[in-house]
Amino acid sequence: MIEISNGTSSAVIDFADALDPDMSTWASKQIQVSNFLTPTATMQLTVRTMDDNPGHIVEAGFDKFQVIDVFPVGIKSTKLASKFTIYPNPFNSEINISIHVKEIENVRVDVLDITGRTVDKKVFTNTSRIKFNNNYKQGVYFVNIYGNGELLKTEKVIKF
């Protein structure tokens, strides 16, 4: 049995028994976590092997487990994306953003967690360097930079 948990809910994503057509062969399977439950930063995977009728030899194999990071939203590239530098990455308690373009007066920075929830939002006017402290939990975040109301850059950053 293979089960996933997001810290609040759990779901069985696969189960095999003696009647399973893939018995005694390697079976490649892919799942999308969001089809079972809401992804969080505290996801856990549990693999169990068991004997429903005691007294039998139980054998199981689990190989080539991969987590593939796919953010479900496409971001079009803009010419101005390269005019912003987000550092350091990974970061600890401070995120810095350098702006190398003078045409943008109003800059908004949104920080989203891995589930897409906004955890921070700040607006800046007439600046070339943005520096802000944070108390985010460890994990993966997305920094969206907007200039004059238009999304200009999205970058994945890691808090350690």
pLDDT digits (tens, 9 = 90+) for 10-26: 999 888 777 777 777 77
Residue 37 has phi, psi (to 5 degrees) of -165, 170
- pTM for this one? 0.53
Overall average pLDDT of the 64-89 stretch = 72
Rounded to whole angstroms, how far apart are CA atoms 145 and 149? 9
pLDDT band at 89 (very low <50, low <70, confident <90, very high): very high
The domains of the chain are located at 1-68, 81-159
Residue-wise DSSP of 53-120: STTS---------------SS-----TTGGGEEEE-SSBSSEEEEEE--SS--EEEEEEEETTS-EEE
How far is 121 from 139, CA to CA, in rounded Å? 18
CATH T-level fold of 81-159: Immunoglobulin-like (2.60.40)
Average pLDDT of span 44-68? 78
Question: Is the model's pLDDT at 155 over the cut of 60?
Answer: yes
Q: Is 90 exceeded by the pLDDT of residue 138? A: yes
Helix residue ranges, H only, 6-124: none
- Mean pLDDT, the chain, rounded, equals 84
- What pLDDT is attached to residue 141? 94
Tens digit of pLDDT for each residue in 122-136? 998 888 888 888 999
β-sheet bridge partners, residue 107: 124, 147
pLDDT at residue 70 tops 80: no
What count of other Cβ atoms lies within 10 Å of the Cβ of residue 160? 8
